[in-house]
Chains A and B, each alone.
Chain A
């Protein structure tokens, strides 16, 4: 079987480009990757049909080997129709995803994050219950704050402890406890508070992508720090002056 080297090269490039685009987080690029890959596969079927020949319409006295193999064309046609339908569906889904989340990206699975967040699988049994040794505890020094949090797997009771890293991955804070109480008190809106099943993705959930803005919570914390420490507020300005001078 002879193979057209140009077609083969084009197919290879299309596969490579398709795989590259599929690995992106942006849905539109993923769709383009799928398009490239399905078309590369169609091309593969065509290549496999062998050398081109006469149109496959029966003529008298023509050697059967002279015809082009019609079956791969039929296969390709079917495959094209199928990929067309899937493309249309994907476009609809991307548009829906955009309308819902204002993000053209693959979202983080909140259930996965919740499972990863669990300190252990049976929180009620494993959480430590400390005895209160003093009656005069501050509110944020309650020794059983850990217990409350360990048992509260329900998303509506606490924020998801997701922290976006610089390299685009999502880190889930392993420890739960007092720090989360404080964050709650600072007025951060808990993720998932809008409902258990059908809540729209919040800022924190969408933060797992490389292109996302820094989450609001970190900005908020930085502001707090600047408010509490007077000296630090001037320090960057001083540096800037140095740079200017």
Chain B
């Protein structure tokens, strides 16, 4: 039954492509186009929820396309991590799509989405799904190229000056990362004769360690550009902010996370162990600090958010660099949290732009009075991003800090300090945006945009005499119209989704830990694709690697955070859960005492602001 259900996994890629074709045919009928696109994504989301339910207990399942067995044919693998990523990405995409459709219907301006938007958007979704499902490196490359090519079009939508300028940077950088990745694939094929990831997991281990290192670093550089980790992140704040709000939102939520996903796969499946962990931890620290310092210098909310996006990628690399269940589980939780929160922040920025005419904090003010709803919608994810206690951002960071403290090495402590400092600076950045854009009076603003002043006037007119409200609205209804339901509803949905991770933290964390255990053990994945023999061989390889790690002094030097104890100690059921120091994830996902505490808090939190 489950096996039969999982064999529908390729539909997660095919459905969006079919939907894109249909939407392209309907290019002259915007409403039909929207209906087709939303329906497609909804069906895909439902399918992916079923996939997640199917893999919740069983773990990794492989689908062989066209019936070709594993090392030869194209394989798609659904394991816990990829199923979770699929569901969360589709949920976010659905919200953004509804938002974008509403914006296109209400605004009809030259900067808004045009008829090409919906088909391209679906291709992007197909690429993301393909990357998450890919069971071989080349299919991963194809998935990347699908989503990148679609993203080129979306980024330069409308072809205005700033967008073309940003697009040039983005395209060139993306192409370079793809070239590096493709060259790495070519070399890996030359060295091992296969591109199947499960097969590679066994065959790469037999190569010369130096060759392994070259291939490893090439893959990491290729994925690092896409994930925007520090030395390779320069392109992101340059290119993202110019695009329309929904496009930026979905880029910020998904595209970098696909890079992170690929890095996680590289680190766990292809090159297990702590070979480059020292470097990864440094990169994580620098990404966090440099990113957030960049955010401090910005005035435009979109650019601020782009820099916080870069900064918070560092958290994910931090957890990954620990290469133990605690760290990797926290990374998975953090990725899920961050996709939702970052996307909702960008959507709210779109609301601000629509209401006030600009997203520059120097020209904004008084929005809390004009539109309390937007103020709350911005405040909740902003605090969530900064990691204020009841929110999921806090829980993710606690998990990472626990992993760092547990590792108990110099570098891990440096990262613990760095992540706390970054969290504080994120709070500072967010509060600065909040106080300027929402809290201060409009009269204090130097050059308020006309739209903001008009909105303020009509708001005060409405307050002055409640009888005159309707007249004021009638008189100026077209210029100062508030956010429409189509824009607000998906934003509320995403913010609520971000908040729900607090309530669901117990089961979600347990699930993340189980998928982390799976990935670090590698055997479930390999067994699903190649069968038990290969899995046993892979387990043996890891043991040999550990021998080598102990023997080589250089490896020992690097081996601070990463130990293989949790891998061998725990099998794919949530046995490891007890190892989490704070007892944050109890063994049974149902009744979690800490999450029950938090059950009450978000309710009050949602009401008070």
Contacts and interface: CB of A to CB of B under 8 A. Distances in A.
B168 A27 contact: yes
B159 A109 contact: no
A82 to B, nearest CB: 5
B563 interface: no
A72 interface: yes
B453 interface: no
A41 B161 contact: no
Contact of B238 (A75, A109, A153, A201): A109
Q: Which size bracket describes the interface of B in this complex?
A: 35 or more
Given A78-B142, A154-B446, A41 B189 contact: no
B393 to A, nearest CB: 24
A109 B303 contact: no
Nearest to A156: B447
Nearest to B146: A82
A182 interface: no
Contact of B149 (A1, A86, A94): A86
A139 interface: no
A41 B168 contact: no
A22 B162 CA distance: 21
B175 interface: yes
A165 B148 CA distance: 36
A101 B159 CA distance: 12
Interface in A1-35: 1, 22, 27, 30, 34
A151 B446 contact: yes
Contacts of B358: 196
A111 to B, nearest CB: 6
A93 B186 contact: no
B299 interface: yes
Nearest to B137: A75
A170 to B, nearest CB: 15
Interface in B283-339: 296-300, 303
A85 B169 CA distance: 17
A111 B241 contact: yes
A96 B159 CA distance: 7
B447 A154 contact: yes
B350 to A, nearest CB: 13
A94 B152 CA distance: 13
Interface in B24-45: none
Nearest to A90: B171
Contact of B160 (A71, A90, A157, A198): A198
B160 A78 contact: no
A97 B168 CA distance: 9
B161 A199 contact: yes
A196 B360 contact: yes
Given A38-B179, A41-B179, A115-B299, A82 B171 contact: no
A37 B182 CA distance: 11
Contact of B172 (A22, A101, A151): A22
28 contacts: A22-B176, A27-B168, A30-B172, A34-B175, A44-B183, A44-B186, A45-B185, A47-B186, A71-B195, A72-B189, A75-B186, A75-B189, A75-B195, A82-B149, A89-B149, A89-B171, A96-B156, A107-B161, A107-B168, A111-B300, A118-B297, A121-B296, A121-B297, A156-B447, A157-B447, A196-B360, A197-B160, A198-B161
Shortest 7 CB-CB distances between A and B: which pairs?
Answer: A48-B190, A45-B186, A107-B165, A154-B447, A44-B186, A198-B160, A82-B145
Given A72-B186, A153-B362, A200-B161, 7 more contacts: A22-B172, A44-B187, A45-B182, A86-B149, A86-B171, A97-B164, A201-B161
